[in-house]
Chains A and B, each alone.
Chain A
Amino acid sequence: MTTFALINVTLLGILLATALAIARMRALYEATMLAALLSLVTATLFVLLDAVDVAFTEAAVGVGISTVLLLGVLALTRSWEAVTSQRRRLPGLLVVVLAGGALVYASQDLPAFGAADSPVQLHPVTDAYLYESQDEVGIPNTVTAVLASYRALDTLGELVVVFTAGLAVLSVLGPLARPEQTRPGADFHLADYRVIRVITRLLLPFILVFALYVLFHGEYGPGGGFQAGVIFATGAVLYGLVFGLDRAQQVIPSWALWLFICLGLLLYLGLGVATMLLGGSFLDYDVLSPGHPETGQHLGILLVEMAIGTTVSAVMAMIFFSFASRGASR
């Protein structure tokens, strides 16, 4: 066994054990903690499997935002699960056994793990993404090149899904609470703890600068719009948790959130229309700088990453504020 395989097996074992423990845990707070742990293990596995960009996103989303959302909802509802009746277990087990059998049976046709000669790796598109992109797009991080240039239309679709999910949360939970609507005393904040206040004040600028760095460094290292967006949102979440919802909404008013959400999406779409008006196809950045396609690509990718970052951060912050408002005005 190589070092890689040994580490891989250990981490996969930890992952599986955590998943099983989550299934057994009836206290939902504890299950949420284990879900955060699961996300940490997942991110280490992403690093091990060379997916550094994905690990980045998982770090901010899994441990930061989704844990906070789950904990917030548990505070609003009930945090203890009823015993699962025997009657319900059987159909679940049946489906699991059937699906598991089908998956394992089908997996025999999959290429061996890590094989360099699998159909996917031999497909011409692999060469195109990894090597030809260096001439066509000219940025070292091929994940960013594929995300923001080759498959930019795909990414636009994903961004629209995030946007729609933000709208859905708002329409289900209602508008954000205005300060006069919050119950007195409900908006408990941690700013009275000097240690937390001071450390948060120290960390917040770092988080925001780091998000900007991740946004603009995404062409050369792990990073990009999605990652920067969720890091920004994590900063907003931390501020809201420590200084309270009212202060957070004074700093980031809801009209600004709306503005950013729409601005990002419009920038993305507008860039596509602009490339069409300049004579190219939708989101073909080559035409942005005639004669120097690489400059055009750089400019296009940067603008698209900024658009993604703006919309994602604003949607995530909006979602957090909606849940927090629900708690404060109940």
Chain B
Amino acid sequence: MNPVELLSGVLLGAGALFVVSGGVGLLRFPDFYTRNHAVGVTDSIGAGLILVGLLLQPISWQTAVRLLIILLFMTLTSPTAAHILAHAARRDGVPVWHEGYRRR
């Protein structure tokens, strides 16, 4: 196993871990805003690590360019989506959870 393959494997594994942890967070966190944060984790670092891990696989340059474009778009759109969702929810009066409150 050469070092590039090893690095790719490590990145993919870490990405998978972040993705699952974000998924668990989405299900387990108590209110909308904390869940939004969990989704942010999977979308930014989880997706980023997986895409970089795939880049280090033996691939043609055409595939590499497409992976880079996906990476670029995801770094552009997912923080924006998280931001505007949180903004809209706050405006619409979605409640914030405090210590001791019921989960919603």
Contact = CB atoms under 8 A, between A and B. Distances in A.
B84 A196 contact: yes
Q: Please classify the interface of chain A as helix (H, G, I), strand (E, B), loop, or mixed, using the class held by over half of its residues.
A: helix
Interface residues of A, number: 7
Nearest to A193: B84
Interface size class of B (residues with CB under 8 A): under 10
Nearest to A206: B73
B43 to A, nearest CB: 15
A52 B83 CA distance: 32
A105 to B, nearest CB: 40
Nearest to A198: B80
Nearest to B84: A196
Contacts of B76: 199, 202-203
B77 A203 contact: yes
A195 interface: yes
Contacts of A196: 80, 84
Interface string A196-208: 1001001100100
Interface in A12-66: none
B77 A195 contact: no
A326 B73 CA distance: 33
Interface string A176-214: 000000000000000001011001001100100000000
Most buried by A among B77, B80, B83: B80
A211 to B, nearest CB: 14
Contacts of A202: 76
A41 to B, nearest CB: 16
Interface string B68-79: 000001001100
Nearest to A196: B84
